Structure 1
Amino acid sequence: MDMQQKEQTPLTIPQVAFDWYDEYAHGDIDRRTFLARLGTLGIAGLTLGAMTTALTPNYALAEQVSFNDPEIKGRYVEFESPEGHGKGRGYLVVPAGVDEMNDAPTVLVAHENRGLNPYIEDVARRLAKAGYIAFAPDALYPLGGYPGNDDEGRAMQRTLERSKIVADFIAAAQFIKKHEFSSGKLGMVGFCFGGYLVNQLAIDLGSDLNAGVPFYGTPAEDGFEKITAPLQFHFAELDKRVNGTWVDYQPILDKLGKTYTAHTYAGVNHGFHNDSTARYSEAEAELAWERTLAFFAEHLRG
């Protein structure tokens, strides 16, 4: 595992506020407790409202690729999920001009613990711009889909049975791998809860998955011997919760002789790739994405 050094700059928001937001975002504390803790900081020139606004997503900032970019074609499609919720729905983005004579690898994109928000849709578009057929399912589809804000999305996702969400994503992987313009190669990238899904599907899909990239995701519980896909892990140095699980996960992968690379980025928080909040760290996010695309090019195009 290598460590990317980051030039340290003064933080407008104290690190403890990021830590509390992580607890809130993952259901360890409720919104009232989160806001009450922020209110105790009392930092001159930094109001509670300003901190809350900076820590919560502003999805207008997350559009790197326009939905009407002429080089891609995006639409929402449904797929069958008999072992999950019966039917799923996701955002399918295809490079313009791809056809059965010019097939493309496929990549499944797994969202965080709040449904298919605009940031994850933009990640799918970025992949399509890079020449991949990208598909981003919405785990919240059985409940009507992503509600338009993350607080409601988190609450909705908590009501769903995790095993059925996993089954829906397995069905989505099988659906996209069989796309009429697919080369037959399948990759997967996921963030936070989606990172967990990459780790889980690396087990469940076995040889059907050709490459997996979990961003700050926790491992599955068992079945690691079934992993055949090479994996590329991305961790944030300040993300104590997820990094604590890697301490146990890495030795298992080593013992089983699994193929993986792992990168930890210095001085950044969980969610550093998400460009809609103050946790975003541009240099590290861009480096991690460059590595992701290079990894997919090696294992999905070779």
Structure 2
Amino acid sequence: MSDLRDRAIQIYDAFTHEHRDRRTLLREMATLAGSVAAAEVLIAGIAASPAAAAIIDPADPRLVTRKGSYDIGPGKSMTGYFAAPRDARGAGAVMVIHENRGLTPHIEDVARRVALGGFYAVAPDFLSDQGGTPADENAARDLIGKANYDAVIASAIGTIARLKTRENGNGKAGIIGFCWGGALVNRVAVAAGDALSAGVAYYGPAPAPEEAAKVQAPLLLHYAGKDTRVAATGGPWTEALKAAGKDVTAYTYEGVDHAFNNDTSKERYNEAAAALAWERTIAFLHSHIDG
């Protein structure tokens, strides 16, 4: 069963990250599982569930939350989800970057977790220019694949600039991203220079090692032991950062899958690894964007 599960996750990852069509996914899963019905059960267990309960209640009285637009430059705005402690005066800011499904309820939940960690959090919708994140996650992935990546990076840097000038803030801004968002963390770190205070990437494919010299922000990188696709770029990236004298800490969580932090995916989520990575993440962010 373990081998079947691992192979099923590999097939699903190929679908989500290589933009295969659903018919191919269903055919390969049915071959693996023995029937279309069994394939659908496998897919449901691996895919993120929109119906999964939030860890932090959106109405949590400790927080102030809202969703709306914000300006990132002349004539340029984005939609985002905001979460902050009731008293966020003097708090550092953190941008939460979504996976390739866009700004989902799960990512809004992660933003609330960041806020409970003591930060002013915003989770931008990087599909804002394309009408916003659709409810259909496959449609969202298609839109992510068509996004202008240079424009996405520019929007992220614009958000950082906005966060650093936030009234009652402390002038510091970090970022945290997952999967597609983890990849974006690395690329923003390359492009933003000293404008970025700190970055945390969860299982994000990395840039070319030659780009490491451009990074100025401290980085915390989380990798999944079974995630060979991302490890192929993550290892060389980490070594290049170290060789360039950059402030980088990388952890590999053995025996877990890509997206192990996503508690809405029954088969991928690993509670122990997620809790440890989160503890390290919040401590890292406090060490670099407090005061």
Aligned to 2:254: 266
Match of 1:202 in 2: 189
**TM-score computed with the length of structure 1 as normaliser:** 0.90
Counterparts of 1:81 and 1:97, CA distance in 2: 24
Mapped to 2, the partners of 1:62 and 1:188 lie a distance apart of 25
| Cα distance in 2 between the residues matched to 1:146 and 1:181 | 30
Distance in 1, Cα, partners of 2:27 & 2:73: 44
Instruction: Give the drift of 1:13.
Output: 5.4
Partner of 1:52: 43
Q: Is the counterpart of residue 289 in structure 1 residue 275 in structure 2?
A: no
Q: More helix by proportion, 1 or 2?
A: 2
Instruction: Give the structure, 1 or 2, with the largest relative contact order (CA under 8 Å, sep 6 or more).
Output: 1
Sort the Cα spacing of 1:79 and 1:42 in 2 relative to 1 into closer, same or farther, 3 A: closer
Match of 2:222 in 1: 234
SS of residue in 1 equivalent to 2:115: helix
Matches within 5 A, 1:39-118: 39-42=30-33, 47-82=38-73, 86-98=76-88, 102-118=89-105
Is the Cα–Cα contact under 8 Å of residues 62 and 122 in structure 1 kept in the other structure?
Answer: no
* Paired residue type of 1:31: R
Q: Deviation per CA, 1:106-127, whole angstroms, max 9, x where unpaired?
A: 0011111121111111110001
Deviations 1:39-88 (A, max 9, x none): 012359x81221121122113325111111111111123233459x9321
Q: Distance in 2 between matches of 1:112 and 1:164?
A: 17
Q: How many residues align?
A: 289
CA distance in structure 2 between the partners assigned to 1:147 and 1:93 by the alignment: 21
2:110 to 113, 120, 123: 123
Q: Deviations along 1:133-165, whole A, 9 cap, x unmatched? A: 001100111111111131111011212111111
CA distance in 1, matches of 2:51, 2:254: 27
Match of residue 25 from structure 1: 16
Distance (Å, rounded) in 1 between the aligned partners of 2:135 and 2:29: 24
Q: Which runs of 5+ in 2 are unaligned?
A: none
- What is the alpha-carbon distance in structure 2 between the residues aligned to residue 179 and residue 12 of structure 1? 49
| Superposition map of 1:140-289 within 5 A | 140-221=127-208, 222-277=210-265, 278-289=267-278
8 A Cα contact 1:186 1:209, kept in partner:
yes
Unaligned 5+ runs, structure 1: 1-9
Which secondary structure state, in structure 2, belongs to the residue aligned with residue 47 of structure 1?
Answer: helix
TM-score, normalised relative to structure 2 = 0.93
Please give the alpha-carbon distance, in whole angstroms, between the structure 1 residues aligned to 2:235 and 2:147. 29
Give the whole-Å Cα distance in 1 for the aligned partners of 2:136 and 2:57. Answer: 20
Amino acid at match of 1:260: V
Tell me how far 1:272 sits from its aligned partner: 0.6
Distance 1:149 1:125 in 2: 23
CA distance in 1, matches of 2:32, 2:190: 43
Moved more, 176-185 or 33-42: 176-185
